[in-house]
């Protein structure tokens, strides 16, 4: 994500997809949620007190939520503007760490409370032991799909500041009146966030501003075309409430892969039990995309969840084969260090903490700083 944030605009292949489809960057979030689920399978393989474990899980989730609000709520305004502080009425409420907190808490509670006491010695016994977790995942999928394609989305409007005068903000109307739309303007994911969170608390630089309808430089950012639709300047939350429901399912899928580590010690059994569901998820996701349930990261569609979970399973099995079976550990030592300190690295680098600190030191003029000299933050 650090690479995407810094050079994604120069290399569209590693930037997020403007809407439909997948790029390399679109795999990062589900891969992280997947490995969170794997780790939970190891963390809670033996729970001495469910109440104590639940309390700790809730406390950890709250810490992530608060940290996310602080880092992504708008407190830091960017590299060029070194002021800080945020109007609470305009504060962004959701974000990456908030999504991780929600998915983590759902998966942790399922692992603490929804599993049998017997030890699984076969694939069937494994499914039986964790059958209520699979039921919970299925319920989440049904809720998401039912709401996404079943709820009616009425027309709506929003305000943008008028940059040409000191008059009242300009009001733009978006015509909808549809069901089952998965485009940027009239989807249920955005509607729920506008109704519950409030449009003033949503992300103000959504990914769809790089679509052909909204940018003459698509798939990069650019000026609006003359015939740009009214929704191009609207806020949209890519880590919204409904889409986080499906993100939690990715975490539950990773939890299953962690269960395989706990209950099966043979390398061949582990690889086999990982590759079978990975293949199924990948095929199902691609098939759903072909038949109309498109792969859209911003909505975290079911097809997107399937494809990315399947890809995560293949990558996980591949790394396991390389490191744990063939013993190539030296080449992964840097990745291992990054994995152990992922949160602090994300906070310092991807959230611009280090660049903001460095940018604060300059020679005579604010523009004479280290980052500007190397082309960052201009």
- Please give the Cα distance from 34 to 247 (Å, whole number): 9
Q: How many CB atoms lie within 10 A of CB 363?
A: 10
Interatomic CA distance for residues 378 and 79, integer angstroms = 8
Per-residue pLDDT, 222: 86
Beta 156-160 vs 178-179: how paired, if at all?
unpaired
Residue 351: CB atoms within 10 A of its CB come to: 22
pLDDT for 122: 87
Q: How far from the centroid of its chain's Cα atoms is residue 372's Cα? A: 30
Q: Are 314 and 308 in contact (CB under 8 A)?
A: no
If one counts every other C-beta atom within 10 angstroms of the C-beta of residue 357, the result is 11
Residue listed under structure tokens 């399912």 = 249
Answer for the pair 91, 74: CB distance below 8 angstroms, yes or no.
yes
Residue 102 tokens read as: 């929600």
* pLDDT of 112: 96
Which helix (H) or strand (E) segment holds residue 345: the answer is helix 342-345
* pLDDT tens, the chain, 378 aa long: 666 665 555 566 678 899 999 988 899 999 999 999 999 999 998 888 999 999 999 999 999 999 888 877 666 555 555 555 667 778 889 999 999 999 999 999 999 999 988 778 888 999 999 999 999 999 999 999 999 999 999 999 999 876 555 667 789 999 999 999 999 999 999 999 999 999 999 998 899 999 999 999 888 888 999 999 999 999 999 999 999 999 999 999 999 999 999 999 999 999 999 999 999 999 999 999 999 999 999 999 999 999 999 999 999 999 999 999 998 888 788 888 888 888 888 777 766 677 667 766 767 776 677 666 666 555
Spatial CA neighbour of 256 closest among 280, 272, 281, 273: 273
Helices 131-150 + 302-320 axis angle, to 10: 140
- DSSP assignment of 271-321: HHHHHHHHHHHHHHHHHHHHTT---BTTTT-HHHHHHHHHHHHHHHHHHHI
Residue 220 is predicted with a pLDDT of 82
Burial tier of 312 (Cβ tally within 10 Å: 0-12, 13-18, 19+): buried
- 86-93 long-range contacts, CB within 8 A, separation 24+: 89/200, 90/200, 90/201, 91/201, 92/201, 92/202, 92/203, 92/204, 92/237, 93/69, 93/197, 93/201
Q: Quick one: which of 238, 139, 248 has its CA closest to 197?
A: 238
Rounded Cα gap, residues 64 and 343, in angstroms:
10
DSSP E strands in the chain: the ranges are 152-153, 156-160, 170-174, 178-179
Rg (CA), the chain: 22
Q: Is 117 exposed, middle or buried (0-12, 13-18, 19+ CB in 10 A)?
A: exposed
CA–CA distance, 199 with 193 (Å, rounded to integer): 7
Entry pTM: 0.90
pLDDT at 302: 98
What is residue 173's three-state secondary structure?
strand
Residue 19's alpha-carbon distances to 108, 135, 191, 276, in angstroms, are 31, 30, 17, 29
The closest of 105, 108, 112 to 48, measured between CA atoms, is 112
Output the DSSP codes for 118-166.
SPP-SHHHHHHHTHHHHHHHHHHHHHHHHHHHHSEE--EEEEE--TTSS
């Amino acid at each position: 994500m650090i690479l995407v944030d810094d050079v994604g605009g120069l290399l569209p292949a590693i930037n997020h997809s403007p809407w439909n489809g997948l790029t390399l960057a679109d795999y990062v979030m589900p891969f992280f949620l997947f490995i969170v689920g794997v780790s939970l399978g190891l963390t809670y393989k033996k729970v001495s007190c469910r109440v104590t474990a639940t309390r700790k899980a809730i406390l950890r989730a709250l810490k992530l939520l608060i940290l996310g609000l602080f880092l992504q709520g708008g407190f830091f305004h960017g590299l060029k503007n070194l002021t800080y502080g945020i109007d609470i009425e305009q504060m962004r409420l959701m974000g990456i760490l908030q999504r991780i907190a929600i998915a983590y808490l759902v998966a942790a509670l399922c692992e603490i409370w929804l599993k049998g006491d017997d030890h699984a010695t076969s694939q069937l016994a494994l499914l039986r032991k964790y059958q209520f977790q699979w039921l919970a995942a299925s319920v989440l999928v049904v809720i998401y799909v039912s709401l996404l394609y079943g709820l009616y989305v009425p027309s709506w409007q929003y305000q943008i500041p008028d940059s040409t005068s000191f008059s009242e903000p300009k009001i733009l109307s978006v015509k909808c009146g549809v069901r089952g739309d998965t485009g940027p303007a009239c989807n249920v994911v955005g509607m729920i966030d506008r109704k519950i969170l409030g449009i003033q608390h949503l992300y103000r630089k959504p990914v769809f501003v790089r679509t052909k309808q909204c940018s003459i430089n698509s798939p990069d950012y650019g000026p609006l075309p003359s015939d740009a639709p009214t929704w191009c300047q609207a806020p949209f939350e890519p880590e919204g409430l409904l889409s986080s429901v499906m993100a939690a399912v990715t975490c539950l899928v990773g939890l299953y892969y962690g269960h395989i580590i706990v209950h099966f010690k043979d390398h061949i059994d582990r690889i086999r039990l990982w590759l079978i569901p990975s293949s199924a998820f990948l095929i199902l996701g691609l098939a759903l995309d072909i038949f109309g349930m498109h792969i859209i990261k911003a909505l975290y569609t079911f097809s997107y969840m399937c494809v990315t979970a399947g890809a995560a399973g293949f990558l996980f099995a591949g790394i396991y084969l390389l490191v744990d079976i063939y013993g190539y550990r030296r080449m992964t030592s840097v990745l291992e260090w990054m994995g152990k300190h992922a949160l602090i690295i994300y906070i310092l680098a991807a959230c611009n903490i280090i660049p903001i600190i460095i940018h604060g030191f300059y020679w005579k003029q604010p523009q004479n700083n280290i980052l500007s000299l190397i082309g960052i933050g201009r």
